[in-house]
Chains A and B, each alone.
Chain A
Amino acid sequence: MAFKYIGKKATRPNVLERVTGKAIFVDDIRLPQMLYAKILYPKYAHAKILSIDTSEAEKMPGVVKVVTGKGIKHPYGDCLHDRVPMAVDKVRYIGEPVAAVIADTERHARAALSKIKVEYEPLPVYTDALDAMKKDAVLIHENLDKYFYVTPLYKPTPGTNIALSYEIKKGNIEEGIKQADVIVEKEFVFHHMSSVAIEPHTAIAMHHPNGMIEIWTANVGPFAVREQVAEFFGKNVSDVRVHVPHIGGCFGYKSDPSIEPLAAYIASFVPGRPVKLKLTRTEDFTSTFIGRGMRAHVKVGATKDGKLTALEETLYLSTGAYADTGTNVLIVSVQASGGVYYFPNAHVKGYSVYTNTPPVGALRAYGHPEAQFAIERMMDLLARELNMSPIEIRKKNFITEGKTNVVGEKFKASDGNLFKCLENVVEAIPPEEGHKEDDDYYYGVGYAGLIKAPKAATFASKGCHIKFNVDGTVSLNMSGGDVGQGLWTVARQIAAEALKMPPEKIRVYSEIDTQYSPWEWQTVGSMFTFQGGNAIIRAANKAIDILKKNASLVLGRDPDMLEYDGEYVYDRSYPDVRVAVKDICRGYVKPDGTTIGEVVNVTSYFRLPGVQNPDPETGMGRTGGSYTMGVQGVKLRINKHTGEIKVEHVATSIDVGKVIYPKGAEGQVLGGVVQGLGEALFEQIRFKENGALENPNLIKYKIPRLEDIPDKFTIKFVETPDAIGPYGARGLGEHPVIGVPPAVVNAIYNAIGYDFYEVPVTSDMIKKVLEEKGMLKEQPNETTKASLSETVDRDKEG
């Protein structure tokens, strides 16, 4: 099929706003009579609140109101309703709001915070699931038996700190272990990390006299925000209106309601006035969502010839103080535990455990990097046991047509070609480039597969509203949040293809407003192209049908005898018998003014067909619905004198079905690979024993800079058309982050013969290993040429 706009060069619809500084982000919004809120945080990560005295703070200049959580009656949430916007009688993490000052300026609000007096009774602090699971551990949520959960899947275990248990059973695990000639058993840790969008969380909320609550926020789940805020205030969902302007990056933590319920709670004390709550970078670390934080105990069995027979695994998620947003992180990890490999027998259990850290929520591809780090490391360990190459063992066990994953979903040929992906990656980074050294460096290569479904609630759906205008142009209105991934561009290209008109005639929406925008679940899980694309095609077809019906009235032909080309509807046998689209898109106005036909203003939706909740007994079921798979490879070098790791080359090959926006797809891979390198090599939120964060800022929490990127990227897309994806396309946004951490750690072994079982692996850790193994060489005498990092002014504390 030849495409006119799909797969071709495209311009981002709202890019001019973004290069001129005119794009409006939440913090750029100024409303009349706006007030500002600042938040007081606790001294302890786990403590009872004995008393709060706000009287002195209330007398401070500019202060309008001081708010505490005293009046909060019930928690809210999505899956497990355990969340409160502000601490009520105890604090459960160091970033939990205890009180808020509302003032005329941010400065006045901040100044009054220190005047609030709070008495606490400290409780033991847990930052690791294993400690919080101990028999004598103090309960972080005493009333776990009273919390509402939406399905039995999300049932907590009262009397413990276990917020969620989930397990899957496939085949017969005992048999699988028996059949194995080789068994490898290891523990893995994927430490806590942060999404770190460059725009910190900000929200504005206002309670209107007519009962409406209006919110402005950078969140890709505005409809979820609306529902949870409505639930919290006991309002109709239709009484909450959420606006989403430009969003300065998401990467996960702006997809669940975060500070919006808090902003709305604070604003309820000053009805009629908008209140802005703008988090500092530190608050963005301590008081929104963090990600990852997974331990995995993994046992894998295989026959002598390298066929996998069994996967037995237990996952422990340190989910933080509130478990609602981490429930699906755990579930997805369990479901992704087999990675891209076929296991005839599997028994995988997972526990999401309350701890005294900020709550775990979404972080790019959540659940998948955690689970696949473990399984991709295991494949290398197993290959070594079997004296087989890491490439060979992967090829032998790839999930292929007719095989099932660990939840029992059968794969089709149209799901993608892993062999081709592997071939592309090995061609770019052959194994011969690794396991080498010269005077200054050890060189290593490593590989990893990756797989991810456009995971979502089973009912998750995306909508598309197409409005034809009187000049024949189109207004395209959807609710996908363009967080930089290029969603607006893809939407316009698909609309252009489906409506057979140049993209310039299609104006894409630039903000989401739950009052007008079509309902969508959340822009998460790499599913916009898949679901949104199909919604656009459906809406376009509906619009074209109406245009043909209208034309039929004008031209006197049956609608199915007519063709549409974007500009005209015409008789297919006599094309000169035609009527212009612009003349029939609001009905047709006859010469005498009477008007016939329908107005072309349509909405359509799309959801993944047949996706189901897992079976309550076995944990199995069609939980993914569609998958995107691929392979990544890494070549790195380790400095013999310093232990410093330099990634030279990262190759990524993903079977995306069909590339729609080439530059955007490439951009997603580049950004994802670099984020994955951060997770592999240095990103980690470190906790002190008292539950405080050691590094809640961008000086101490390092994310990749330009100097950290590889010398070379290879990106190769494979295009095996998907059975139901729009024009054969599948999701891509999160996937490039998944295979990088295991490929890096596999490459580190290949370079220095040492196995790490956690990420990040820092250069300091490598240096220590080299020292222990006697592999650290003395510094050469001549000073090496200063690298970029040594000459650039950065990271100075003070």
Chain B
Amino acid sequence: MQAVNVTLNGEKKTVYIEGGETLLDVLRENLELTGTKYGCGQGACGACTVVVNGEAVKSCMVLFRRLEGAEILTIEGISDGVHLHPIQKAFVDADAVHCGFCTPGIIMELYALFTKNPDVSEEEIKKALNKHLCRCTGYLPLIEAAKLAQKYYKESLKEV
């Protein structure tokens, strides 16, 4: 067993692993944070996207033992499940959530994008969304939701 110290959704945590686990394995199996999804295990679909040290990463492609000292944020960490984060609210308002399986990964992708630069261009937003597979929506609702999410996010910054 190997101990890895991380900050997970704002809390300091020591996680004991065997060694070969991916970040996705640890989130889902060790920590029961099942909001992050397995879709392909090869970094192709983006359903497992979480934020590590401010960057969106595909958690199925990251070995957990490399994350000593890292700050990890998952879908469970951006709201208490009752009061929505502005990005989540935008996805509800834009009706961009169909089966919802790819949704947490996409929301985390946009979280990283907007927190780094709230003023990113539409082209940058599309590039970020292009890392994700969604079989339901035909993507257009995701673009609309992401643009609305950017607006809500920027408004939330002014409120603080």
Contacts and interface: CB of A to CB of B under 8 A. Distances in A.
Interface stretch (A25-33, A65-73, A323-331, A527-535): A25-33
B130 A198 contact: no
> Which size bracket describes the interface of A in this complex?
35 or more
A142 B16 CA distance: 53
A30 B32 contact: yes
Contacts of A670: 137-141
B97 A18 contact: yes
Contact of B101 (A248, A664, A699): A248
Interface string B117-160: 00000000011011111111111111100000000000000000
B92 A15 contact: yes
Contacts of A707: 126, 130
A449 B135 CA distance: 23
B32 A699 contact: no
B133 A703 contact: yes
Contacts of A200: 38-39
A321 to B, nearest CB: 25
A698 B133 contact: yes
B45 A698 contact: yes
Tell me the interface secondary structure of chain B in the complex.
loop
Contacts of A671: 98, 135-138
B113 interface: no
Interface string A186-216: 0000000000111110000000000000000
> Which size bracket describes the interface of B in this complex?
35 or more
A198 B32 CA distance: 20
Interface in A760-791: 788-789, 791
A486 B137 CA distance: 11
A674 B138 contact: yes
A248 B99 contact: yes
Contacts of B139: 670, 674, 704-706, 709
A249 interface: yes
B23 interface: no
A485 interface: yes
Given A12-B95, A667-B95, A667-B98, A706 B84 contact: no
Contact of A698 (B44, B75, B127, B142): B44
A19 B97 contact: yes
Contacts of A196: 135
Contact of B40 (A247, A281, A709, A793): A281
B150 to A, nearest CB: 16
Contacts of A692: none
Nearest to B87: A19
B42 interface: yes
* Pairs of residues from A and B, 4 with the lowest C-beta to C-beta distance, nearest first: A21-B35, A18-B100, A248-B101, A670-B138
Given A19-B103, A22-B35, A197-B99, 12 more contacts: A19-B84, A20-B79, A198-B37, A248-B37, A249-B135, A485-B98, A667-B98, A697-B40, A698-B39, A699-B42, A706-B142, A792-B131
Interface of A: 11-12, 15-25, 27-28, 30, 107, 196-200, 246-251, 280-281, 483-486, 663-664, 667, 669-675, 697-699, 703-707, 709, 713, 788-789, 791-796
13 contacts: A19-B103, A19-B107, A20-B84, A27-B28, A198-B99, A200-B39, A251-B135, A280-B41, A667-B98, A670-B139, A671-B138, A706-B139, A792-B130
